[in-house]
Structure 1
Amino acid sequence: MKLSRHSDYALRIMIQLATSGDALVSIRRIAETYGISHTHLMKIVQSLGRAGFIETVRGRHGGLRLARPAQDISLGALVRHTEGEDGLVDCAGCLIAPACGLPSILAEALEAFLKVLDSYRLSDIASRGRMLRALFDISVPTNP
C-alpha cells in the first residue's frame, strides 16, 4: 500500500511536533523544513486539529503542538484519519464484483497493514529525539 502525500505530510508534521515537546512550532517553520507549500500544510494542520491530534495557538507567538502525548497517538489512528476508511479498491459498478474474491482479500490485507501501524506510537518514531532535533535545527538539551 502506498500512502497518499496527505498522509506523508501529516506524519512529517506529527514527527516534528513530537520532537519539539511543548514548544510551539509554526507552520512556516515546518514548510521550510520540508520544502512543502505553506498553503497545503495549512489544510493538513486544520484536519489534524479537528481530529484532536494537534492543537493550534493563534497570534504572533502562536504555533502548533501535539494535543496529547506522543505515546498516546497510534500511527494506525493517524493513517486511518488521513487515508479515510475507504478500501483499497472501489468495486462499485464492476462487472465481475459479484463473483470476484479480490475485495475481501484486499480488505484483509488493509486490516493487517493497519494492525501493524496500531502497534506503533508516534513516540516510537520520535524516540531518536536528539538526532531528529538536530535535523530540525532545534536546540538540543544536554539531558534528552
Structure 2
Amino acid sequence: MRLTSFFDYTLRLLMYAATHSDRLITIEETAGVYGISRTHLMKVANQLTRAGYLKAVRGRSGGLALAKRPNRIKLGDVLCATEPDFALVECFSANNHCPISSSCRLRAPLREALAAFTATLDRYTLADLILSPKDFGIPPAA
C-alpha cells in the first residue's frame, strides 16, 4: 500500500499551519521549508480549503490558517477528503474488469485491512503531529 504525494503534502501543510497557529502561513514559505513544488502545494491548499480544514485570507498580507482546532481534525477524515479513490486493487474501482471478482475471496480481507488502516488514522488528530517551529529549522522570534 502506498499513499500519494498529495496526501503527504496535505499532512505537511496541515502540520505547518498547526505549528504556526499564531499567524497566517503562505504557500511560498511552506514550499520552501519542505522543498516541494509550489504548484502542487497550491492544489493541496485549494482542496483543504474546500474541505473546510484551512481558511484562506486573500490579499497582500493574506495566507492560510487552520479552519478547525487541531484536535478536531482526524487524520482518517483528512485521508477520505483528499484520497477519494482509495481502491487498493482493481476490483475496488469503478473500472473493474477482473474476471474473478464475483467469486474472489481476496476482497474481504483487503476491505478489512483498509478499514483497520483508516480506523488507526482516526485515532489520531492533527494535534498529535504538531511540531515546534525549531523542528522546521526556523529560529525563535526575537
1:12 counterpart = 2:16: no
The size of the alignment, in residue pairs, is: 137
Residue of structure 2 in register with 1:94 after alignment: 98
What aligned pairs does 1:81-120 form with structure 2 within 5 A after superposition?
A: 81-91=81-91, 92-120=96-124
Residue of structure 2 in register with 1:66 after alignment: 66
TM-score normalized by structure 2?
0.90
What aligned pairs does 1:30-49 form with structure 2 within 5 A after superposition?
A: 30-49=30-49
Which of 117, 123, 127 lines up with 2:127 in the alignment?
123
Query: Structure 1: which 5+ residue stretches go unaligned?
Result: none
Q: CA-to-partner distance for each residue in 1:105-144, whole Å, 9 max, x for gaps?
A: 1111000000010010100111xx43xx113316369xxx
Q: CA-to-partner distance for each residue in 1:7-50, whole Å, 9 max, x for gaps?
A: 00000000000111131000000010111111111111000000
Please report how far the alpha carbon of residue 69 of structure 1 lies from its aligned counterpart in structure 2 after TM superposition: 0.4
Distance 1:39 1:3 in 2: 19
Residue 134 of structure 1 contacts residue 140 of structure 1 at CA under 8 Å; is this kept in 2?
no
Distance 1:33 1:11 in 2: 14
1:139 counterpart = 2:131: no
Q: CA-to-partner distance for each residue in 1:63-96, whole Å, 9 max, x for gaps?
A: 1110010000001101111211533112211011
Structure 1 runs of 4+ with >4 Å offset: none
Letter in 2 for 1:111: A
Distance 1:110 1:140 in 2: 43
Letter in 2 for 1:55: K
Q: CA RMSD in A?
A: 1.5
Query: Structure 2: which 5+ residue stretches go unaligned?
Result: none
Identity %: 42
